[in-house]
Amino acid sequence: MAGVELFSHPALHTRYRAGLCSAAALALLLIAVLTYVPPLLVAYRSHGFWLKQSAYREQPTVRFRYELLFVATTGPGPGSFLAWSTFPAFNRLQEDRLRVPLLSTREEDKNQDGKMDQLHFKLELPLQPTEHVVGVQLILIFSYQLYRMSTFVMQSMAFLQFFSPVPGSQLYANGDLKLNQRQLLNHCGLDTRYNVSVVNGTSPFASDYDLKNIIAAYRDRNVTTVFSDSNPIWMTGRGANTPFIVNATIRYPVEVILYQPGFWETIKFAWIQYVSILLIFLWVFGRIKMFVFQNQVFATTPVSPVLPLSPVLSYKQHQP
């Protein structure tokens, strides 16, 4: 029989044949194009077809590095401050403004999952009876690590600053060490570009310990941490022989991490969108194709299979 099979109707057990260059073949090609191409265009034009970024939740592994820089303002003058840090080069630059405080720190794993959840930090600065603290600037340095997708390792900081016109006895802060991203992380691999010290503790130059320069260099990073307490409590009424106290609780919360999806994740996301629209087109154009061939809109040769006779009919035909 001339031609090739273009379409078969399972319900009616009918096949439709025609030549490859016939109108029916061209119509079938057009239906196929209209079935598979428009879903791709619809999915693409509806935005979000290619996954540009994705997110996941992870609690970072954070540890206090026992490195800090502390400045207490004692008056309005340019040299009216007391300072101390864990960097010997910085301490040597302070001369008579150096004042060694008493430190107490404790990291706590509240849910016993192997990751620290918060840091309890306390600093007691001894003062002379005539000295008063009207402002505090404190940098605490942390090791910050992520592992779920890519391995991201950096040294970050929490910056606490507060000034008051009234001399204080204690500054209390309680907040989160929040991750701040200006750039997506990778979906795999090792990223250690920011695993460098926030403060150049070996430098003999005073400019390297200027808080403006430290903060500016830190903000140039695309990934940082920020201490989020917006309402620190400034307490007044310090006794004559009591130290000034900085009491802070810094929490390490679960973060929403933004990252650049990999190739297979992007393809999977696009494929799901395409197939969900394609199913609708397959159903619609399947009905159209059935109508075209069943009603012979274009000339084809229907071929129905020859069904075998039943045993009863075959017996009757062979009776004399």
Domain parsing of the chain, residue ranges? 4-51+264-317, 55-259
pLDDT tens readout for residues 88-129: 999 999 999 999 999 999 999 999 999 999 999 999 999 998
pLDDT at residue number 156: 96
C-alpha R_g of the chain:
37
pLDDT at residue number 225: 96
Q: Which amino acid is at 15?
A: R
DSSP, collapsed to helix, strand or coil, labels residue 211 as: helix
What's the average model confidence in pLDDT over 185-209? Answer: 93
Please check the confidence at residue 161 and state whether its pLDDT lies above 90: yes
Cα–Cα dist 13/303, whole Å: 9
Please check the confidence at residue 140 and state whether its pLDDT lies above 50: yes
pLDDT at residue number 311: 55
- Tokens describing residue 21: 């260059």
What's the average model confidence in pLDDT over 172-190? Answer: 94
pLDDT class of 11 with cuts at 50, 70, 90: low
Kindly list the distances between the CA atom of residue 231 and the CA atoms of 105, 173, 174, 234, 291, in Å, as whole numbers in the listed order: 22, 7, 8, 9, 72
Please check the confidence at residue 313 and state whether its pLDDT lies above 50: no
Instruction: Give the H/E segment covering residue 107.
Output: strand 102-108
253 and 178 Cβ atoms separated by less than 8 Å: yes
Question: For the whole model, what pTM was predicted?
Answer: 0.79
DSSP, collapsed to helix, strand or coil, labels residue 4 as: strand
pLDDT at residue number 4: 81
149: left (phi over 0), alpha (psi -120 to 50) or beta: alpha
Q: Is 62 exposed, middle or buried (0-12, 13-18, 19+ CB in 10 A)?
A: buried
Please check the confidence at residue 1 and state whether its pLDDT lies above 60: no
- Tokens describing residue 60: 């970072």
- To 5 degrees, how large is the angle CA 57–CA 62–CA 67? 150
pLDDT at residue number 246: 96
Q: Is 20 exposed, middle or buried (0-12, 13-18, 19+ CB in 10 A)?
A: exposed
What's the average model confidence in pLDDT over 63-80? Answer: 93
Q: Give buried/exposed letters for 82-115 (b at 16+ CB in 10 A, else e).
A: bbbbbbebbbebbeebebebeeeeeeeeeeeeeb
Instruction: Give the H/E segment covering residue 111.
Output: none
What's the average model confidence in pLDDT over 189-217? Answer: 93
Cα–Cα dist 298/26, whole Å: 10
Average pLDDT taken over every residue of the chain: 89
